[in-house]
Structure 1
Amino acid sequence: MNVICLSAQTIQKEKQSLLSVLNILETRYNISFSYADETIKDKTTVLPDETLSLEAILEFLKKETDLDFELLDSRFIAIKLLKEEKKDNYAVQNLEEIIVTNYLTSGIAKLNDGSITIKPEAFGILPGLIEPDVLQTIQALPGVLSADEMVSNINIRGGTHDQNLLLWDGIKMYQSGHFFGLISAFNPYTTKRVNVYKNGSSAKYGDGISSIIDIQLSDDINNEFSGGIGFNLINADGHVKIPLSKKTELQLSTRRSVTDLVITPTYDQYFKRVFQDSDFNNSNNNSISQNESFYFYDIATKFLYDISKKDRIRFHFLNVDNKLNYEELLTTNNNPDEALISKLSQRNTAVGLTYTRDWTNKLSTTYQVYLSNYDLDATNFDVFNDQRLIQKNEVYDGTSKFDINYNHSDQLKINGGYHFSEIGISNLEDVNNPVFRSFIKKVIRSHAVYAETSLLSKNVQTRLNVGVRLNYINKFKLFLAEPRLGFSQRFLNNFRFEVLGELKHQTTSQIIDLQNDFLGIEKRRWVLSNNNEKPVTENDKTFQPIPVVKSKQLSTGIHYKKNKLLISAEAYIKKVDGITTRSQGFQNQYQFKNGIGSYEIKGIDFLLNKQFGDAVSSWISYSYSKNDYLFPTLNDGNKFPNNADIRHIFSFAGTYTQNRLKLALGLNWHSGKPTTLPSADDDPDDRIITYATPNSTNLENYLRADCSATYNFNVSNTTRATIGASVWNVLNKKNIINTYYTLNNTDDSTNAINTIENESLGITPNVSLRIHF
C-alpha cells in the first residue's frame, strides 16, 4: 500500500538524477549507499515523499531505476545491477563506498580506499577556477601544494613533481603543463574521471613514489552525438563525441592558445610569471632588439570499438605542444638585417591500444600497449659572443600491460597482472664556439608482476586491500618487492578509521644541471637511474651517480561524517631514499655539488567540510609537516630543511550554488619556503658567495585570495551555454616565491651580490564562454 501511495504522491514531481536523490535520502534517514559509478550512471527518479518508510522507498526506487537496493543492515544499502541484467551484459563492476559525495564541491568524492575521485562533467566550482582544470583542482586537496603556482611543479606530501605518476588513459605522461607550467595540458571536457592516490595505491601502479594522478577518458559508447566549444583569455578549444555506428565511436578534442593572436590581461600576467627569470627577460642591453612569439596546442583522439558484448578495443592518441620563438637583433651590427632566432619547444606525444575481454560476468582481462614520447628542444643564441647552444632532452617509453580482474562477489575481488616497460632517455649538448658536443643515451628495461585481493564485509563497514608488486630491473640485476596495504573500518555509525601503506620505487627523475638551461624557462631534464654504476672511463668527470629512488610511506586517518558535516584528520610519515642534489634544484652552496641522500617528512592533514543544504559548501583545511634532507656528504652529515619544507598550509573557501548560478570565494595562506642567505662573513673581494647554513631562513608568508562565478543558460532545447569570470589574487598581493643570489659581472666589488626575487602571479582576471550541444 505504501508503494501505491508513493506513486500517487510523486507522480507530479519532476525527475532528477538518482545521485542527487541518494544524497538527500542519506541525510534524511541517516543511511549510507554503496555503489559503482557506472551502476547509477544516467539513472533518474523523483524524490520520494518524507512520510514514506525506508523499505517502501527502496522498493519504489528499484522499480523506477531497474536496480537492486539491498539493505545490508539498518544503515547500509548496496546498489547493484539486477542479476538478469548483469548476466546478459557481462558487467564487471566494483562496489565502491563513497565516504563523501561532494568533497569540497560537487564532482569531487572520497572513496573508502583512501583515494579522491574528480569528475569534471559534474564539477561545481572552486575559487579562482571557472573551468575544471585537472591539475589546478587537485591543489584544493589537503597535503597538495604548488609553492610556485605551477601545475608542472606540484608537491604532494613534500615530494617533487617528477615523483608523481601522471597517467592519461593508462599512458604515462612526462609533460603535464601548457604555458610552461601554468595550465594543465589535459582537456577537462573529455576527461571522465581523475583518481588521486596520496598513499595506499593499488599494486597495479608502478612509479609515482609521491602520488598517482590517473586521468581517465570516457570508455562507454552511448550512441549520442555531443560536444562543445569555448574560449577564455588564454585559449580556445573544442571537443566532440561522434557515434559512427552502434559499435563504434570517435572522441576528439583540441585546444590552442590565442596568445600569439591577441594580447590579454591574463596573458600579460602569465608571461611575466613564466618568463621573469628566463635568459631573454634578463637581457637589459639596449643594443639588442627583441621580439618573441609563443603558442601552445593539444589534440586528443580516442576511438572506441565494441567488437561484441564481450570484446572491446580502444585506440588512444594525444599530442601536447608548447613553442616559443625568440628573435634577437644586434642593432650595432654592420649587418642589421640578420636576426638570430632562439627557439624552445616542449612536446609529449602518446599513442596506445587497449583490448578488453569479459570472459564471464566475474572474469575480465585487459591488455594495453603504448608509446609515450617526450621531447624538450632548445636553441639558444648569444649574439655578443657569437655562440649557439643546442640542448635536447628526449624520452621514449614503450610499455606493455596485462591485467586480470576476478570478481568472485561484492565481498571478494582479485586483481593481478604483468607489466613490461622499456624507457630510453637521451640528453644532447652542442656548442659551436668553442666546439663541444655531448650525447648521452641510456635504456632501462623492467618487468613487474602484481597481485592484490580486496575484501569487503557484507555490511560494507570493513574493507581490506592487500597486494604486492614484484619488480625486476634487467640492467642492474635488481629485484624489488613492494607490498601495498589499505584498511578501512567504520564504527559508531558515523566514524571511519583507515590505515594506508606502500613501498615504491622509480628509475626516472628530473634534474637541473644549470639554472639557465633551455633558455632558463624549463630548466629540468629527465634522466634515468644508473644505480651508482661506475663511469665508462676513470677520467670521466661528467659522470654523476643516480640511484634508483625508493620510498616507504605509512598513514592513518579518522573521518567523521554526519548531516553533511565532514571532519577528517590524516597523519603520515614518508621516507624517500636515493635522491640527488641535482634533482632538488638547489640555488645555494649546493647548486654545483653532487650528492646522494634522502628526505623524511612527517605531517598531518586536517579538513572540516560543512554543507548547508544543496546551496552552500564551505571548508577549512590545515596541513602541518616537517620535511628534512639528509645528505651524508653535505652540511657535515646533519639534517637540514627540505626545499619543499613548508610547515603550515591553511585554506578557507566557500561555494554557493543556486539554480544556474555558482559562486566561489577562497583564501590560501602558507608559511614561506626555506631559503639560504649569504653569510654575514661573506668577503666581497673573493668574487665568491659565501652562504649561511642551508635553508636556515624562510621567505615571507604567502597569501592569496581568489574568486570566481559561472552562470549557465539554455540557448535552445539541445544547446546550453556557460559564462564565467574569475580573479586570481584579488588583493594583488606581492608574494615572493623564490629568492636566490648571483654575482655582478662588473669589477665593482663593493656591491658584488645581486638579489633575484621571483614573484607570484599578480591580480589575474579571466573570463570564459562555453557552448554545449
Structure 2
Amino acid sequence: MVFVQKLCPRHRRRTLMWLGVLCIALALNGSGNTLSAQASDVTGIVRDSLNNETLPNAAVMLVGERFRTLTDEFGRFTLVNVPTGEHILRVEYLGYLPLELEITGGSAIPLSILMKPDAFELEGVTVETSTDIIQPTGEISVIKLSPRKLATLPSLGETDIFRTLQLLPGVSGTNDASSGLFIRGGTPDENLVLLDGMTVYHVDHFFGVFSAFNADAIKDVRLFKGGFPAQYGGRTSSVVDMIGKSGDNENFNMSAGVNLLSARAVTEVPLGGKGSWLVSARRSYTDVIRTGLYNSIFNTLEGEEEEEPQPTRPGGRGGGRGFGNFQQQTIQPDFFFYDLNSKLSYSPTDSDVVALSVYAGEDKLDESSLGNEITTPNGQTRLTPDRVDVSDWGNRGASGRWSRAWGSRFTSDVLVAYSEYFSEAALDVESTRFARGFREDNEVTDFTVRLDNTWRPFQASDIGVGFQFTDTEVAYSFQRLQGDSVRGGLDLGGTGALTSGYAQHRWLPSDRFDVTVGVRASSYDRTENLYWEPRTSLHFRITDQVRLKGAWGRYYQFVKRIENEDVLEGSRDFWVLAGERLDPLFAEHRIVGASWEDDDYLFDVEAYEKDLTGVSQFSTRSRRRPGQALRDLFFSGTGEARGIEFLAQKKRGRLTGWIGYTLADIDYELEGFNDGNPFPASHDQQHEFKTVASYQAGPWTLSGIWVYGSGRPYTIPEAQYPIELLDGRMLSYIHVGEKNGQRLPAYHRLDVAATRRFESDRFFYELNLSLFNAYGRNNIWYRQFDLDELPMIVTDVKTLGFTPSIGLRVGLR
C-alpha cells in the first residue's frame, strides 16, 4: 500500500478538502443510537473547589451507563441523549476525590461541579489521603500525571514533571544529565512536546538535572507513549501534552518556593470573575550564591582516577599507533538558568474562552578548564591542554487560543502559536599535536495555525476534524577547528511549510468495544509529497477488570535532530529540516497489551514494535579524503525498536506506588556507515527496572525511588594518525572500533524523601527533605578520550553522587 504521493498543489488542496467529507462519513457510521424525544444533553464545567481552576480531561459519566466523556482543556463537558428523569452523575480526576451528585435529565441549566482534593485535616494540617501520582487511562499507551502530587517525590529541590515521567516503564530513567524523554526507542526530538499548544523543542535545564517546565505553572499532563491519534502530527515517537494553569478567577493568590539551587514564585490575579492572569517565574542563583548542592552539581562531571589503568584494544592501520593505559582528568562546570510562564484566560460569554500563553527559558553553561599537570603511569609529568567549552540554549514561545462551544455537541478551537529554539556552542582545546575544536549555532523557529473541531452526534460517537499549517525555519552552522585554522564548515538552513488535515472517529458499538479510527494527511513543500498517516486503536473489555488493547499507526516527522558523533568529547545534536539530502523520518507503530484493574491495584503489560526509516547520523570521523565536504558526511538508513513493558501499581492506602520493568532493543543500519553493519543506537538499553513508593505516616509523606538500567553502548577510539598533506597541512585521522561496540557499567541509584505541610490562618508551608543517590553510586554519563599523549587519557564523566537537598514552598491559603 502506498502512503506517500507526489501531487501537484491543486491535488493537495483537493485531498485536504476530502478529509472534511470523510468526517461526515465517519459520523454516519456511528449512527447506532438515534436521538430520542425523551432525551436531552447535559452540559457543565468542572473546577477545583479551592481555587476555581478548571480541570481538563476529567472523566464524567452516568452511574450504570457504559458511556463516559472527558472534559476539554477548559473543563467543559457534554453528555448527549440523557433520558429524562433522575440520574447519578460521577466525576473522576487524578488527585481529587470522586464526586457523585443527583441530576435531572431534561434540565437545560449547565452544571457547575466543584471537586475537592483528596485530603483531610490532621492536627490542623491538610494531609493527602492518596499519594497517587500517575494514572493509566482507558486509551492505549496513555498515562496521566498529577503535577500537584510531585512535591512528595525525592528531588533536587525542584518538583519536576519530566523526571517523574522517566519513572514510567518504556521511558528511560537512567540519564541524570538529561530530562529529555527516550520513549520506546525514540529520542527526545521525536517527541511532540506541547505547552498550551506551542511546540517546545528542548526540555533540559541546568545540565539536564531537571526540565524546563515549572510544575507550579502546569495543571494537567498526558503522555502518549505510542499509537497516538490523528489529531497529533509531526513527530514519530510520542506526545507530551501539557496544559498550563489558568489561575483563580475570583481570588488573588500567590506562592513562592526556594531550594538550594533556585527560587520561584507564582501570582494569580482575578479578572472580575470572567478570567484570570497567572505569572510564574523561576531562576537559579548559583552565579551569586554557591550552596553545598551547587558544589555537588559543580562536580557532576568530575572524573575519578582508575585504581588500575585499563588497556584498550590494540589497533591501528597504516603505521598508526594504538593506545594502551589511560588516566583520568577533572572538569568543573559553571551554569545558571531562568524560565518564565504567563497565561491570561478570559471568558467573554458562557460559550467562549480566550487564552494567551507565553513561555521563555534560557540556560548558560561553561565547561571550560585550565590545563593542569598530571603524572602518567610511567612516572612522567605533562601539562594537559586548556579547554574553552561554552554553551547557551533556550526556548521562547507564545500561543493564542479561542475556543467556542457552538452548541452542546459541537466545539471549535483556533490556535495561533510561535515557537523559537536557539543553541550556541563553542569548543577550543589547545594542544601542540592535536589541537581541535568547533563552533556551532542552531536555531529553529516555527509559526503554527491550527483549527480543531469536535462533534458528538450520538452518545457512542465522537468525531474530530481539523487542519494545521506550520511554517518552520531552521538555521545550522558548524565549523571544525584545528588550532587557529578552520578545517571544514557546514551551513544548513531553509524553510519548510507543512499543511495537514485530519479526521478521526471514536465509536463505542457496545459496552465492551471502544474503537478509534483516524487518518492524517500532510503536504510538505520541500519534497512536494503528500504523506498519509492512517491510525487505529481498539479496546475490548472481557470482564469488569480485564481488558485487551491494541494500536497501529504510521507517523512522519519533517524537522529532526541529528546526532553529531564525536567519540572524543561526547556527541552533540542539531536540528535540520528534511528535504533534498535527508528524507523525513518515518515510524510505523504496532502495539498490543492487556490489563487487570480494580479499585486498589493495576497490572498492565504492553508489547510494541516500531519500524523506522529516515534515521540519520552525522560523523566527521567518516571523512575518507582530504577536502571532503561536510555535507557528504550525513548517513541515512533504517531502524527497528522492540520491547515489552510491565507495570504493577498500588493505588490506595497508606502505601502507594508502582513497579515497572522494560525489556527493549533498538538497532540502526545506515548505508555506508559502520561498514554497513547494524549497530545498537546510542540510547539502547536492554533492561530497566523502577520502583516508586510513597507512605503516609501521619502528617509526613515518606517516599523512595530505586532505578536500575543496564549499560548503554559507546564507541571507543583505537588510534589517531597525523597525516601530512601535499600542501604541508596536517590532517588528523581517528580510527575507532565497532560503532557502539562497548557498554558502560550498569546504572542504579536510590532516592528518598520526607515531605510535610504546615499551615497557619493565612499561609501554608510545604517542606521537602531529599537524598538523591542515597548510597552514592558512581554512575557514568559518558567517556571522553584525550589522544594528545601516550598513554591515552580517558575521563569518566560522572553523574551526581550522594546529594542532599531541601526545598520550601510558601503560599496563601
Work out whether residues 302 and 332 of structure 2, in 8 Å CA contact, stay in contact via their aligned partners in 1: no
Using the alignment, how far apart are the partners of 1:771 and 1:477 within structure 2? 55
Deviation string 1:436-488 (CA, Å, 9 cap, x unpaired) is 876532111010000111123564x4321111101110121111111121211
Residue in structure 2 matched with residue 238 of structure 1 by the alignment = 265
Work out whether residues 221 and 304 of structure 1, in 8 Å CA contact, stay in contact via their aligned partners in 2: no
In the alignment, which of 493, 497, 502 is matched to residue 450 of structure 1?
Answer: 502
1:179 positional shift:
0.9
Work out whether residues 177 and 799 of structure 2, in 8 Å CA contact, stay in contact via their aligned partners in 1: no
Deviation string 1:25-68 (CA, Å, 9 cap, x unpaired) is xxxx99999564689989xxxxxxxxxxxxxxxxxxx99xx963
What is the alpha-carbon root mean square deviation over aligned residues? 4.1
Matched, 1:604 2:644: yes
Q: 1:504 to 1:658 in 2, by over 3 A?
A: same
Q: 1:760 to 1:710 in 2, by over 3 A?
A: same
- For 1:304-453, what aligned pairs fall within 5 Å after superposition? 304-324=345-365, 344-378=391-425, 391-429=440-478, 433-434=484-485, 439-453=491-505
Using the alignment, how far apart are the partners of 1:407 and 1:550 within structure 2? 32
- For 1:721-732, what aligned pairs fall within 5 Å after superposition? 721-732=765-776
Residue in structure 2 matched with residue 488 of structure 1 by the alignment = 539
Using the alignment, how far apart are the partners of 2:241 and 2:369 within structure 1? 42
Work out whether residues 328 and 383 of structure 1, in 8 Å CA contact, stay in contact via their aligned partners in 2: no
Q: Which amino acid aligns with 2:640?
A: E
Deviation string 1:327-350 (CA, Å, 9 cap, x unpaired) is 89999xxxxxxx999853212110
Matched, 1:200 2:227: yes
1:276 positional shift:
7.2
Work out whether residues 238 and 253 of structure 1, in 8 Å CA contact, stay in contact via their aligned partners in 2: yes
1:696 positional shift:
3.4
Work out whether residues 90 and 361 of structure 1, in 8 Å CA contact, stay in contact via their aligned partners in 2: no
Using the alignment, how far apart are the partners of 1:607 and 1:402 within structure 2? 36
Work out whether residues 369 and 399 of structure 1, in 8 Å CA contact, stay in contact via their aligned partners in 2: yes
Describe the SS at the equivalent of 1:112: coil
Q: Which amino acid aligns with 1:626?
A: D
Residue in structure 2 matched with residue 216 of structure 1 by the alignment = 243
Deviation string 1:578-619 (CA, Å, 9 cap, x unpaired) is 111239x99999x995321121111100122234x5210143
Work out whether residues 565 and 571 of structure 2, in 8 Å CA contact, stay in contact via their aligned partners in 1: no
In the alignment, which of 773, 780, 799 is matched to residue 736 of structure 1?
Answer: 780
1:491 positional shift:
1.3
In the alignment, which of 255, 267, 280 is matched to residue 253 of structure 1?
Answer: 280
1:576 positional shift:
1.4
Matched, 1:68 2:124: no
Work out whether residues 203 and 469 of structure 1, in 8 Å CA contact, stay in contact via their aligned partners in 2: yes
Residue in structure 2 matched with residue 4 of structure 1 by the alignment = none
Q: Mind listing any 5+ residue stretches in structure 1 that lack a counterpart? A: 1-14, 18-28, 43-61, 71-76, 93-101, 278-289, 332-338, 534-544
Give the structure, 1 or 2, with the largest relative contact order (CA under 8 Å, sep 6 or more): 2
Residue in structure 2 matched with residue 296 of structure 1 by the alignment = 337
Work out whether residues 777 and 801 of structure 2, in 8 Å CA contact, stay in contact via their aligned partners in 1: yes
1:623 positional shift:
0.9
Using the alignment, how far apart are the partners of 1:368 and 1:40 within structure 2? 14
Q: 1:369 to 1:504 in 2, by over 3 A?
A: same
Matched, 1:187 2:214: yes
Q: Which amino acid aligns with 2:398?
A: V
Deviation string 1:193-229 (CA, Å, 9 cap, x unpaired) is 1110011212111122111111111357642322310
Q: Mean alpha-carbon deviation: is it higher for 170-179 or for 654-663?
A: 654-663
Using the alignment, how far apart are the partners of 1:30 and 1:731 within structure 2? 51
Deviation string 1:259-307 (CA, Å, 9 cap, x unpaired) is 1121122222323336879xxxxxxxxxxxx998532111111111111
Work out whether residues 448 and 469 of structure 1, in 8 Å CA contact, stay in contact via their aligned partners in 2: yes
Residue in structure 1 matched with residue 694 of structure 2 by the alignment = 655
1:567 positional shift:
1.4
Work out whether residues 570 and 782 of structure 2, in 8 Å CA contact, stay in contact via their aligned partners in 1: no
Residue in structure 1 matched with residue 560 of structure 2 by the alignment = 509
Work out whether residues 230 and 769 of structure 1, in 8 Å CA contact, stay in contact via their aligned partners in 2: yes
Residue in structure 1 matched with residue 378 of structure 2 by the alignment = none
Q: Mean alpha-carbon deviation: is it higher for 545-554 or for 426-435?
A: 426-435
Work out whether residues 622 and 649 of structure 1, in 8 Å CA contact, stay in contact via their aligned partners in 2: yes
- The structure with more strand, counted as a fraction of residues: 2
Describe the SS at the equivalent of 1:524: strand
Q: Mean alpha-carbon deviation: is it higher for 691-700 or for 173-182?
A: 691-700
Work out whether residues 734 and 760 of structure 1, in 8 Å CA contact, stay in contact via their aligned partners in 2: yes
Describe the SS at the equivalent of 1:175: coil
Work out whether residues 246 and 344 of structure 2, in 8 Å CA contact, stay in contact via their aligned partners in 1: no
Describe the SS at the equivalent of 2:152: coil
1:409 positional shift:
3.7
Q: Which amino acid aligns with 2:285?
A: V
- For 1:122-133, what aligned pairs fall within 5 Å after superposition? 122-123=149-150, 125-128=152-155, 131-133=158-160
1:242 positional shift:
0.9
1:529 positional shift:
1.3
Q: 1:85 to 1:708 in 2, by over 3 A?
A: farther
Work out whether residues 715 and 738 of structure 2, in 8 Å CA contact, stay in contact via their aligned partners in 1: yes
Work out whether residues 579 and 596 of structure 1, in 8 Å CA contact, stay in contact via their aligned partners in 2: yes
Q: Which amino acid aligns with 1:448?
A: S
Using the alignment, how far apart are the partners of 2:248 and 2:347 within structure 1? 8
Work out whether residues 106 and 124 of structure 1, in 8 Å CA contact, stay in contact via their aligned partners in 2: no
In the alignment, which of 611, 615, 619 is matched to residue 579 of structure 1?
Answer: 615
Work out whether residues 651 and 667 of structure 1, in 8 Å CA contact, stay in contact via their aligned partners in 2: yes
Using the alignment, how far apart are the partners of 1:636 and 1:254 within structure 2? 50
Q: 1:192 to 1:147 in 2, by over 3 A?
A: same
Deviation string 1:636-671 (CA, Å, 9 cap, x unpaired) is 433222222211111223210244311112221111
Q: Which amino acid aligns with 2:411?
A: S
Q: 1:232 to 1:40 in 2, by over 3 A?
A: same
Describe the SS at the equivalent of 1:121: helix
Residue in structure 1 matched with residue 315 of structure 2 by the alignment = none
Matched, 1:497 2:548: yes
Using the alignment, how far apart are the partners of 2:523 and 2:164 within structure 1? 35
Describe the SS at the equivalent of 1:595: strand
Q: 1:603 to 1:429 in 2, by over 3 A?
A: closer
1:547 positional shift:
1.5
Work out whether residues 279 and 341 of structure 2, in 8 Å CA contact, stay in contact via their aligned partners in 1: yes
Q: Mean alpha-carbon deviation: is it higher for 121-130 or for 699-708?
A: 121-130
Describe the SS at the equivalent of 1:273: coil
Work out whether residues 414 and 452 of structure 2, in 8 Å CA contact, stay in contact via their aligned partners in 1: yes
Q: 1:599 to 1:742 in 2, by over 3 A?
A: farther
Q: 1:441 to 1:129 in 2, by over 3 A?
A: same
Q: 1:90 to 1:30 in 2, by over 3 A?
A: closer
Matched, 1:638 2:677: yes
Residue in structure 2 matched with residue 570 of structure 1 by the alignment = 606
In the alignment, which of 534, 552, 556 is matched to residue 588 of structure 2?
Answer: 552
Work out whether residues 421 and 446 of structure 1, in 8 Å CA contact, stay in contact via their aligned partners in 2: yes
Using the alignment, how far apart are the partners of 2:64 and 2:476 within structure 1? 59
Deviation string 1:696-721 (CA, Å, 9 cap, x unpaired) is 342221111111111011122x4211
1:506 positional shift:
0.8
Q: 1:255 to 1:32 in 2, by over 3 A?
A: farther
Q: 1:219 to 1:622 in 2, by over 3 A?
A: same
Work out whether residues 398 and 423 of structure 1, in 8 Å CA contact, stay in contact via their aligned partners in 2: yes
Identity of matched residues, %? 25
Deviation string 1:385-430 (CA, Å, 9 cap, x unpaired) is 9999753211110010001011224421111100100000112357
Q: 1:237 to 1:164 in 2, by over 3 A?
A: same
Residue in structure 2 matched with residue 21 of structure 1 by the alignment = none
Q: 1:67 to 1:267 in 2, by over 3 A?
A: farther
Deviation string 1:308-328 (CA, Å, 9 cap, x unpaired) is 111221111111011246889
Residue in structure 2 matched with residue 668 of structure 1 by the alignment = 707
